[in-house]
Amino acid sequence: MVGIFSLVTGWPGPSGFGSATTAEQVTEGIDASNLTVIITGGASGIGAETARVAALRGAHVIIAARNMEAANETKEQIVSSNSAARVDAMKLDLNSLKSVRSFADNFVATGLPLNILINNAGVMFCPYQLSENGVEMQFATNHLGHFYLTNLLLDKIKRTAKESGVEGRIVNLSSIAHLHTYPEGIQFDGINDRSRYNDKKAYGQSKLANILHANELSRRLQEERANVTVNSVHPGLIMTNLMRHSVTQMKVLKIFTYMFWKNVQQGAATSCYAALHPSLKGITGKYFLDCNEKEPSNLAKNEKLAKQLWAFSEELVKSAQPL
Ligand SMILES: NC(=O)c1ccc[n+]([C@@H]2O[C@H](COP(=O)([O-])OP(=O)(O)OC[C@H]3O[C@@H](n4cnc5c(N)ncnc54)[C@H](OP(=O)(O)O)[C@@H]3O)[C@@H](O)[C@H]2O)c1
């Protein structure tokens, strides 16, 4: 109830921030000039605003995007409003493990450090289709591509944290939609089963996978005593291109639920909070909403499920490698 009250009124939670807080407000006074940040899907929506604000705070931002024209346009917009901004665009298509591998290789070849990885890109409610590697599209894009990307960049993030003494951070963009998944959480026995496909539940499944992935990675990094945290966030409800497969439904929904919606400046706040705010130093394996820690679903907190998803994802990546 308190959650709904603060969502509607913007009343701040224990962190001092709330649903009305913008990304600029949550990062006020933060100096990120020693940080390099990769933002997947940073060419539009929440990712583009996260990129703009991270650059405003001095970070070197890499926009990882499949549409290079859009990525370069976003880069130009950021630089035109802030000539000191350090922004680069690099090609990444999360539907293709080959593209994920090339992106990681190209990034490592730049010799840049990597302090923060924001796994932001996503698709929602698409009709049944398979990725380049033959995996159901929402699971492949939202989870599997990010799982592989994170693993490929992990050494770089750990090494940067060790050499610089600055905590590395990984942020997974999940969603409140993780609550609406298949009954078993993840359909390990039929991830590509067309007859059981439900576009909404498949999205919820992929967003549950984002939290489970963050939690298991967080556990592994703590075991290694690596100076890298991993958290997941729900950004809020924001009208973006994400709704492209459900524009009419979402517009109708917004009429009845307008008080729950945010603008994109507010939508990027929780990502920026998790990625940059000093009060989260050492905080890992948590889920944030409206810039405050919240409990995710029981399935999302299930360690056995998280381990099972990790092993399953490793197998999928391995079996898809020949492409
Ligand atoms: N908006 C909301 O209400 C809401 C709510 C909860 C969670 N989220 C989460 O927030 C994140 C950002 O969403 P958004 O609302 O900002 O949507 P958006 O504007 O559509 O941004 C998503 C970005 O991901 C990119 N992308 C999609 N498929 C990709 C692929 N295969 N490879 C590389 N990039 C790809 C898109 O690029 P293209 O333009 O080329 O497709 C786009 O730039 C998503 O993870 C979403 O699930 C959003």
* Residue spans of the chain under pLDDT 50: 1-2, 323
Domain extents for the chain?
A: 2-320
User: In Å, what is the CA distance from 260 to each residue of 4, 219, 253, 320?
Assistant: 8, 33, 10, 40
Mutational pocket test of ligand 1: of 49, 66, 141, 146, the residue with most ligand atoms within 8 Å of the beta carbon: 66
pLDDT reported for residue 287: 98
Which tens digits make up the pLDDT trace of 158-205?
999 999 999 999 999 999 999 999 999 999 999 999 999 999 999 999
What is the distance of C-alpha 269 from the center of its chain?
A: 13
Could you give phi then psi for residue 86, rounded to 5 degrees?
-110, 105
Q: Among residues 38, 50, 35, which one has the least CA distance to residue 235?
A: 50
Q: Do the Cβ atoms of 213 and 172 come closer than 8 Å? A: yes
pLDDT of residue 118: 98
Q: What is the CATH number of domain 2-320?
A: 3.40.50.720
Predicted confidence at residue 3, as pLDDT, reads: 65
Mutate to test the pocket of ligand 1, among 38, 44, 200 (most ligand atoms within 8 A of CB): 44
Task: Give CA–CA dist 281/279, Å, rounded.
Answer: 6
Residue 25, both tokens: 């407000």
* Residue at 301: amino acid letter: K
Contact between 296 and 290 (Cβ < 8 Å): no
Looking at residue 231, its pLDDT comes to 98
Q: What is the pLDDT of residue 254?
A: 86
Which residue lies with its CA nearest to atom 20 of ligand 1?
Answer: 242
Q: Check residue 323 and give its pLDDT.
A: 46
- Mean pLDDT (the chain) is 95
Give nearest CA residue, ligand 1 atom 1: 238
pLDDT given for residue 247 in this prediction:
86
50 three-class SS: helix
**Quick one: three-class SS letters along 256-321?**
HHHHHEECHHHHCHHHHHHHHCHHHCCCCCCEEECCEEECCCCCCCCHHHHHHHHHHHHHHHHHHC
pLDDT tens, residue by residue, 199-238: 999 999 999 999 999 999 999 999 999 999 999 999 999 9
